[in-house]
Structure 1
């Protein structure tokens, strides 16, 4: 909703005709663009010529020298207007935007400083540090997701330390963040006794020694206890109150935290406990019992790892395409590790180093590939595969990229994983948010990246299994190996026995896109010469107007080549038998199909006008009841995972129909299930890499139903099957 006074503030900004002060949209909504523009306006009024979005040292020192306190006595109209505009943008009364520091402004500034916790330090007006905070999007009241305990700590830190040179007012919104974490570190350094020239907010040797010099235990009191309880609160340790007394209840909460992060359970505020509260690695000198590495674990390396106390090793299922790094598991390696008492947890990562990689479609592809590789190596059901997010994903990127990606992984793992579990490797915030969405069951946390915004200011995820805290080498000579050292929670013990390795030779692979024009030409020729279907329009005698040309349907099929290939490999059937009905139904999609879809939607919308409760829909034109029957059959056969549904239950029919209609992956994934069930229904052999033509024809015919029309469909699709096989078979070497 637009705020009229914010619009007035935006109009004030736009009244400037100064290079470097951008025009802002007059929409009544506060934003960083507005705050940056106000910052530039202030710099201009202070005589600074190099205008910037940053309220940096130059702005601060110039303001300090010219207007050490902006208040009732300030006669600089434009600076007063900047204060008034910023107050409105913060949600406070600015007393109009008239350039007068009036009683309403005075009252609002007093309220603002109380909210910040600095009213005791700055009783009068707007000093430079308050002005700096005013020109941000930081909130000083509790916001959604915040809590009052955290806000109380934020206000206390502001009030106690704001007079220090490098301590700036932090948000008082009740939410732990990167800035609040740095402020806490500065507070600790000040209490250690560091000067403003030394304190830098970094967990360095001096800070670590200072913490060691101030151990806490039951009966301790004072500011150090306040800082310790603050750190516990920031790490979301329930039942902890902001206090200066270390009592028995706090000692119990400390023991709970120590057990959670796998430290010695002492109930004391010792160095390792402080470290785990302050930095993502905790005490990085700790030795874990798990490791991950990109290097093959040979006999010598396995012995070195075992002798160094390691019990579990993370290894990679795949390599990164078109790179020289060979990190994937080698044949026989898992059995070799097991013989030395080493378990293994598998990691899936190809790229995963930037936000653009992550989307639902890529998640689906990754899940299929990870399942296939895990089966190849013989990992048994119950194995958890960790999918990597190997970059500092910002929160909006988690929402827009990472969550859809893992939703795709979740869907495929649930349906085709056959007992494999889904884990995630990534920063704390990424792991926690994906777990909260229900897409993963455990986290492998890249805490070694202490500077990641997704680690700094976030607690260790509650479902953590492995905590990666350092890189080191173990062994010597032939046994020398570089590893990432991981703390183990006990949530995942890895695997130490395996099925025989599976070969994937003879299965279909992705289309050689250089042959795409030739395949299209052959498909067009077959449709015209054998089926009477021209490039545009329907087949001979067809009345409904088709909505796709042969080329358009073919291009759609090629766009789906990845998912079709993975489905064929997963079901171990020829890709051509999936391609044929999928391509044909896309090609012959027509106006009557659209009408039928609308009637089904109308039936379930509650209007009661339509009695049509099912229709063939989606890319492959599949009925909901057909999909339910086929999927139930495949679930019972152990070919896919899922919940059995009932064709007689309207809610089941409607739910499945909606997925068929709106989710292309679900629709295409249903095609092989329909083919498998259809073959069983007519007594044909289950589609495989070696199914004969007659059984293939019968399965394809059943996809269309029963009777003469279905038989004609099967005959036509068999010919199309031969066209696709002409291009698929040479690629798989058959």
Structure 2
């Protein structure tokens, strides 16, 4: 909502500093935001004589302001514009700044006084003077009153921290908005270090050896009082434990501590010992702890299993797939290896499966990608022999910001959930990721347990968030255990008991060649494919496109099942690669495609000139078909006559074959796949060389084949391939059932 005084602040910046701040003119919207705060920061730097301006109120700005104007008031503000910066900032924070007239008047004094009270620094900085650290707090978007249903108890902690430690050199005023955050968590570490006795310059807000040693000397228990109890009760509050902010360690606090210790699987003592302090202050807690669980990328042999058992480990996390087709030596056994689950079971261990592709950024998470991940994980779990009821943990292995969770991660897990539901709920869903990701995915109803990557303590999704209520595994440290052939590097996990993995397994499904579809799966396959396509905007009745789901499925999957089975066997590829490309392209045909085909034929028959376009049920270009067939003949995959890729007649002839002969078009699809795997020679695309076509293609290789069929990586082919991956996994689901009957 627009505020006229904020608009006046924007007009002031635009008028007084046009061309001086190194920024564009501010939109005069009357709405507060970071662009206005950055502009006010730059204006302050300009008034201070700083020549290199920045959006950041950093050490140079603070030290210059402190040396020149340690106390700003009506008698010390150096200019009218300097005061207008203060007045404008006050309005941005929701305080009265007067008329933005350059006068440090009684209204400004009252607002500065109120601001310091809200911050909690009014005893440290009494009166209406504006001091540098308060000025720094004025020029950001932090709130100093509760907002968005903030907690009054958390706000009391925030205000106490500000008032208690603001005069320390490296402690800066934190929000007092009633919400835990990264800044608040770091301020707690500074406070602990100050109470330990660390000097300015030594205290750094890091949970290092000095901090840990100090905490080991400051156990708090019933009857204790003073700042250490205040810090401890504050830490409990920030971890959402129901306690009062107090300086006295009461029996009620001891009871709450016992409940917390039980929740995080610490020895229950009711005292604030080091391990409890650690669990409250940093996500990974006391890394000297031993866990009952671990996860890793190393093959489990009998010797390594013995090492794990000797460490007290029962639950072992292993990956269902390895998306990298050429992994480095240390990752070559990332995925579960043949016979490994049997070794795990024979040694009394239990395995919980993890599904992860690369997953290192928000762009790799979406509904279609989640739908593909869900079905891929199901297929892989069945291949390895995991039984019904197993929980699969799907990884979000990056520092997902809250907006990333909303826009990408939650739709991704909805896709996973839909895949699991459509499969008949044979498997349960877990989420691996930072605390905020786990909390929000669980609250959305997309996962029943969390595997928390607390070892990544710097993730914004771990800083300032409590351990999720549904946590099953808490990843705290990487450690190498055992020796000789039993040596193994693992990530140590604390286990809550909410998930116990699997201790016995079905026989694994081997990499068999595809067969014809079993008659009893075709109906379910058609339903699943149709439901997925509808979920991404393709109604079963075809909508504005030329063909319905029924027509495309019947043509590609049913009528040509024998042909596709033979092609897949001959070329050592999965049927789903052929089915997916053909079905997808046929579903996309519309009236424009039909009219373009007519134009191409008319032009060639009239002028003899061929204007290439995609045609037929598989939407194949004439040039692409020539290159793919020539490549297949040269490689010995097919026999026939080499066509001239520069001949309009040759390209038109094969183009007509692709348009008029559905079987020829479908038979060309696998040749295009193999041509693409070899780098698409003769095309204008700079494609890398892939492994020769084979049945054990990884997901990343399958993605590349599907993407390359449609076009270059920088085109719409990439997002379309993300959607086609889910379609592929559905097709593969029913092909795998058929070949394993």
2: CA distance between counterparts of 1:78 and 1:339? 78
Aligned to 2:284: 281
Could you tell me how far 1:303 is from its partner in structure 2? 1.4
- What is the correspondence of 1:438-477 to structure 2 with a 5 Å cutoff? 438-477=445-484
- What is the correspondence of 1:377-396 to structure 2 with a 5 Å cutoff? 377-396=384-403
Does residue 481 of structure 1 match 2:482? no
Aligned to 1:150: 154
Aligned to 2:173: 169
1: CA distance between counterparts of 2:490 and 2:584? 47
Residue of 11, 27, 30 corresponding to 1:28: 30
Aligned to 1:235: 239
Residue 44 of structure 2 contacts residue 85 of structure 2 at CA under 8 Å; is this kept in 1? yes
Aligned to 1:295: 298
2: CA distance between counterparts of 1:479 and 1:242? 49
Cα pair distance change 1:383/1:145, threshold 3 Å: farther
Could you tell me how far 1:35 is from its partner in structure 2? 0.6
1: CA distance between counterparts of 2:65 and 2:272? 42
Cα pair distance change 1:112/1:132, threshold 3 Å: same
Could you tell me how far 1:220 is from its partner in structure 2? 1.0
Does residue 309 of structure 1 match 2:312? yes
Aligned to 2:506: 499
Aligned to 1:138: 142
2: CA distance between counterparts of 1:170 and 1:262? 31
Aligned to 2:55: 53
1: CA distance between counterparts of 2:171 and 2:289? 32
Residue 545 of structure 2 contacts residue 587 of structure 2 at CA under 8 Å; is this kept in 1? no
Residue 578 of structure 2 contacts residue 669 of structure 2 at CA under 8 Å; is this kept in 1? no
Residue of 348, 368, 377 corresponding to 1:341: 348
1: CA distance between counterparts of 2:356 and 2:236? 34
- What is the correspondence of 1:313-328 to structure 2 with a 5 Å cutoff? 313-324=316-327, 325-326=331-332, 327-328=334-335
Residue 581 of structure 2 contacts residue 669 of structure 2 at CA under 8 Å; is this kept in 1? no
Aligned to 1:708: none
Could you tell me how far 1:507 is from its partner in structure 2? 3.6
Residue 74 of structure 1 contacts residue 101 of structure 1 at CA under 8 Å; is this kept in 2? no
1: CA distance between counterparts of 2:190 and 2:133? 16
Aligned to 2:631: none
- What is the correspondence of 1:621-660 to structure 2 with a 5 Å cutoff? none
Higher relative CO (CA 8 A, sep ≥ 6), structure 1 or 2? 2
Could you tell me how far 1:150 is from its partner in structure 2? 0.3
Aligned to 1:265: 268
RMSD of equivalent CA atoms: 3.1
2: CA distance between counterparts of 1:170 and 1:508? 64
Deviation digits for residues 576-624 of structure 1, max 9, x if unmatched? 889888876764789xxxxxxxxxxxxxxxxxxxxxxxxxxxxxxxxxx
1: CA distance between counterparts of 2:101 and 2:670? 76
Residue 295 of structure 2 contacts residue 491 of structure 2 at CA under 8 Å; is this kept in 1? yes
Could you tell me how far 1:166 is from its partner in structure 2? 0.9
1: CA distance between counterparts of 2:278 and 2:158? 20
Could you tell me how far 1:727 is from its partner in structure 2? 4.6
- What is the correspondence of 1:353-432 to structure 2 with a 5 Å cutoff? 353-416=360-423, 418-432=425-439
Is the partner of 1:346 in helix, strand or coil?
A: strand
Instruction: State how many pairs are aligned.
Output: 560
1: CA distance between counterparts of 2:694 and 2:285? 50
Could you tell me how far 1:451 is from its partner in structure 2? 1.4
Could you tell me how far 1:725 is from its partner in structure 2? 6.6
2: CA distance between counterparts of 1:443 and 1:293? 17
Could you tell me how far 1:320 is from its partner in structure 2? 2.1
Could you tell me how far 1:182 is from its partner in structure 2? 0.9
Aligned to 1:4: 4
2: CA distance between counterparts of 1:118 and 1:588? 67
Residue 582 of structure 2 contacts residue 669 of structure 2 at CA under 8 Å; is this kept in 1? no
Residue of 13, 18, 37 corresponding to 2:39: 37
Cα pair distance change 1:360/1:145, threshold 3 Å: farther
Aligned to 2:666: 724
1: CA distance between counterparts of 2:579 and 2:171? 67
Residue 508 of structure 1 contacts residue 728 of structure 1 at CA under 8 Å; is this kept in 2? no
Further displaced range: 223-232 or 322-331: 322-331
Residue 508 of structure 1 contacts residue 575 of structure 1 at CA under 8 Å; is this kept in 2? no
Deviation digits for residues 344-380 of structure 1, max 9, x if unmatched? 0001111011222111111111111100000001111
Residue 368 of structure 1 contacts residue 412 of structure 1 at CA under 8 Å; is this kept in 2? yes
1: CA distance between counterparts of 2:578 and 2:401? 42
Further displaced range: 321-330 or 137-146: 321-330
